[in-house]
Amino acid sequence: MSNHLQNLNLKIWRQDGPADGGRFESYLVGSISDEASFLELLDVLNEQLIGEGEDAIAFDHDCREGICGTCSLMIDGQAHGPQRGTATCQLHMRKFASGDTIVVEPWRATAFPILKDLMVDRSPLDRIVEAGGFITAATGGAPDANIIPIPKPVADAAMDAAECIGCGACVAACPNGAANLFTAAKVSHLNLLPQGQAERWSRVEAMVETMDEHFGSCTNHGECEAACPKSISLDFIALMHKDYRRAKVKNRKLISQI
């Protein structure tokens, strides 16, 4: 049987709209099962608020299985809360204790304006992908899938990078508001694969430069890897930087694709 936590004090950021000033509001949740997820705690609080005639707290969420990347939240100053390698939706109340005070804020980054309460606009991440985060392979002309063998370690490394869920925790955790881990994951996923070689140099250049238009610069703090719900490795940032440097030479004359 589940146990219940009693008397949780929540300090939650409320903001009416992008142009409004925000403030912390305090709420008390009297009892919650330790089997509940953190987002279910907010569900319970919202039911309570609607019952009192108050506006419910806006927050992004969807799959609640840690894969869609929709949920966010800075919980006690940590992106996605205290549990390593875990998105907010998979964080459960058994990680907290009765009587705790929990501070809940939206992602804080210049590139992510707050839309309302805990909800932010992360669309600059999409702009980076649109700039080059793809392999140009129009529908219909693909050769047989087994025509290019890919060594298992290469496929596995590409998959390690491809696991990124695009939640933006790396940006929120970074003191500079940089999106290097996100960008590096996408660049590395595609640049590691044989199918990605044709556009390797143009891809990294376009993506890094689009990233720089929206986000801060990386100074190797490593907060991003610690906050990442998929534990994506900082090594991919090194790979991206290496490819970016080489691209500056390669792209001047695309004569050698080695």
Partner 1 sequence: MTDSLLQSNTPAGSIADKWDNYKADMKLVNPNNKRKFKVLVVGSGLAGASAAASLAELGYDVEVFTFHDSPRRAHSIAAQGGINAAKNYRGDGDSVHRLFYDTIKGGDFRAREGNVHRLAQVSVNIIDQMVAQGVPFAREYGGLLDTRSFGGSQLQRTFYARGQTGQQLLLGAYQQMARQIGLGTVKLWNRVELVDTVTVDGRCAGIVTRDLVTGEVRSHAGHATVLCTGGYGNAFFLSTNAMNCNVTAAWRAHRKGAYFANPCYTQIHPTCIPQADDTQSKLTLMSGSLRNDGRVWVPLNAGDNRAADEIPEAERDYYLERLYPSFGNLAPRDISSRAAKRAVDSGRGVGPLKNGVYLDFSAAISRLGKDVVKERYGNLFDMYERITGENPYDIPMRIYPASHYTMGGLWVDYELMTTIPGLYAAGEANFSDHGANRLGASALMQGLADGYFVLPYTIGNYLAPMLNKPVPGTDHEAFKTAENEARGRFQTFLDIKGTRSPDHFHRELGKIIWDRCGMERTAEGLQQALTDIPALYDEFKTDLRVTGTGSSVNQTLEKAGRVDDFFQLGMLMCRDALERNESCGGHFRAEYQDEEGEAQRDDDNFAHVAAWEFTGDPMKSNRHKEELEFETIHLAKRSYK
- Name the burial class of residue 85, with classes exposed (0-12), middle (13-18) and buried (19+) by CB atoms within 10 angstroms of its CB: middle
User: Which position among 136, 252, 254, 255 is part of the footprint of partner 1 (CB under 8 A)?
Assistant: 136
Q: Which of residues 216-235 bind partner 1 (CB under 8 A)?
A: none
Residues in the chain: 258
Q: For residues 90 and 221, which CB has a smaller minimum distance to partner 1 in the complex? A: 90
Q: Which is nearer to partner 1, 124 or 177 (CB)?
A: 124
* Position 106 contacts partner 1 (CB under 8 A): no
Segment lying near partner 1 (by CB under 8 A), choices 67-75, 100-108, 176-184, 232-240? 67-75
Q: Which of 213, 210, 231 has its CA nearest to residue 222? A: 231
Using CB under 8 A, pick the residue from 14, 44, 235, 246 that binds partner 1.
Answer: 44
Locus of tokens 């290496």 = 242
User: How far is residue 36's CA from residue 84's CA, in Å, rounded to a whole number?
Assistant: 18
Q: Interaction with partner 1 in 142-201: which residues (CB under 8 A)?
A: 142-146, 149-152, 155-156, 158-159, 162-163, 165-166, 189-190, 193, 195-196
Residue type, 221: H
Indicate the residue among 44 and 226 with the shorter CB distance to partner 1.
44
Distances, alpha carbon 103 to alpha carbons 8, 27, 183, 225, in Å: 11, 11, 29, 22
Q: Which of 5, 8, 10, 39 binds partner 1 (CB under 8 A)?
A: 39
* Under rule CB under 8 A, residue 21 binds partner 1: no
- 30 sits near partner 1 (criterion: CB under 8 A): no
Q: Report whether 68 contacts 122 (CB < 8 A).
A: no
> Contact between 213 and partner 1 (CB under 8 A)?
no
Distances in Å between the alpha carbon of 177 and those of 60, 100, 144, 182? 20, 29, 42, 12
Burial of 181 (0-12, 13-18, 19+ CB in 10 A): buried
Of 74-82, 125-133, 170-178, 244-252, which part binds partner 1 (CB under 8 A)?
125-133
Does 83 participate in binding partner 1 (rule CB under 8 A)? yes
CB of 92 or CB of 214, closer to partner 1: 92
Cα–Cα distance for residue pair 74/17, rounded to 1 Å: 19
* Binder of partner 1 out of 7, 24, 30, 94 (CB under 8 A): 94
CB of 14 to partner 1, least distance (A): 12
- Residue 81 as a binder of partner 1 (CB under 8 A): the answer is no
